[in-house]
Amino acid sequence: MNFMASKQPENSLLGLESDSQRTLYVTCLISIELGSSLDVRYPYVTGTSVVALKYKDGILMAADMGGSYGSTLRYKSVERMKPIGKHSLLGASGEISDFQEILRYLDELILYDNMWDDGNSLGPKEVHNYLTRVMYNRRNKFNPLWNSLVLGGVKNGQKYLGTVSMIGVNFEDNHVATGFGNHLARPVLRQEWHENLSFEDGVRLLEKCMRVLLYRDRSAVNKLQIAKITEDGVTISQPYSLKTYWEFSAFENPAQGAIGSW
């Protein structure tokens, strides 16, 4: 028996020499075969923040219409807010294709609900719960829907505003935001939101938030929609732009008075 250590690896698959390389390759193959069990992907076309708040008559929600492909602004008319059934409004940030998939799931949910034809209809709380279950179960399989969702609605006079993240963290509050909105819009809302905002005040507050996001979030675009949901139903505005001001004197000659390179 020749016990001399061989220079060639005993087992060589496709030129992969170490055990860990071979294991990784086989795992990748299996993962591709099984489709998605070990398959946390990354997002391709993404939407940025959604901001929403409760006001006197219901919920107001705002989102811009951009769909970014990495750092390219690829799509400029993406509707990231959609009505769901009679009582709810869904806004999403993150992967647009996953949002479209979620809309298909909800379509089926609402369809089956309507087919009962029993006079009852799914309210925002129920839709939010359904979405939470879907998101959490996908996360458990390491194959998340790469979205942060905002679900708002009014049913029987009760206002509801909740959010679900891609790992299934969910809660409801008087105002919510996704992505950069958490950092830039929530502080504004914490300071200025109060019960029973009028429609005009609510819109003004949302626009203030969206303007901050426009100035400071590089994936934001100046084309947004504001949606309103009340007991009477959903209205989504036509796309419009915010007025911006870029003439602040401090930005005119930013290096003036600087000592050194800052």
Spatial separation of the C-alpha atoms in residues 110 and 122, rounded to whole Å:
7
Q: Which of 4, 14, 258, 259 binds other proteins (CB under 8 A)?
A: 14
Stretch that binds other proteins, among 22-30, 59-67, 213-221, 232-240 (CB under 8 A): 22-30
Comparing CB distances to other proteins, the nearer of 10 and 200 is 10
Number of residues that bind other proteins (CB under 8 A): 28
Comparing CB distances to other proteins, the nearer of 125 and 186 is 186
By CB under 8 A, tell whether 10 contacts other proteins.
Answer: yes
**Own/partner pairs, 77-80, CB within 8 angstroms, 24+ separation:** 77/223, 77/239, 78/47, 79/225, 79/236, 80/47, 80/50
By CB under 8 A, tell whether 69 contacts other proteins.
Answer: no
User: How near is the Cβ of 34 to other proteins at its closest, in Å?
Assistant: 14
Could you list the active site residues? 23
Comparing CB distances to other proteins, the nearer of 39 and 107 is 39
Closest CA to 98 of 36, 27, 56, 156: 36
Residues forming beta bridges with residue 164, ordered by sequence position: 149, 170
Under 8 Å between Cβ of 178 and 49? yes
User: How near is the Cβ of 260 to other proteins at its closest, in Å?
Assistant: 30
Q: Which of 1, 5, 8, 194 binds other proteins (CB under 8 A)?
A: 8
- Torsion angles phi and psi, residue 91, rounded to 5: -120, 145
> What is residue 139's three-state secondary structure?
helix
Comparing CB distances to other proteins, the nearer of 170 and 225 is 170
Spatial separation of the C-alpha atoms in residues 38 and 26, rounded to whole Å:
12
Question: Measured on CA atoms in the order 55, 59, 65, 70, is the torsion positive or negative?
Answer: positive
Comparing CB distances to other proteins, the nearer of 27 and 196 is 27
> How much is the CA Rg of the chain, to the nearest whole Å?
24
Spatial separation of the C-alpha atoms in residues 203 and 177, rounded to whole Å:
15
Residues 123-152 contacting other proteins, CB under 8 A: 139-140, 142, 144
Residues 150-209 contacting other proteins, CB under 8 A: 165, 167, 169, 171-173, 182-183, 186
Comparing CB distances to other proteins, the nearer of 15 and 119 is 15
User: How near is the Cβ of 43 to other proteins at its closest, in Å?
Assistant: 8
Q: Please give the angle made by the CA atoms of 84, 87 and 89, to the nearest 5 degrees.
A: 45
Closest CA to 172 of 187, 191, 150, 155: 150
Residues 27-56 contacting other proteins, CB under 8 A: 28, 40-42
By CB under 8 A, tell whether 25 contacts other proteins.
Answer: yes
Q: Which of 2, 3, 4, 15 binds other proteins (CB under 8 A)?
A: 15
Q: By the criterion CB under 8 A, which residues form the site for other proteins?
A: 8, 10-16, 21, 24-25, 28, 40-42, 139-140, 142, 144, 165, 167, 169, 171-173, 182-183, 186
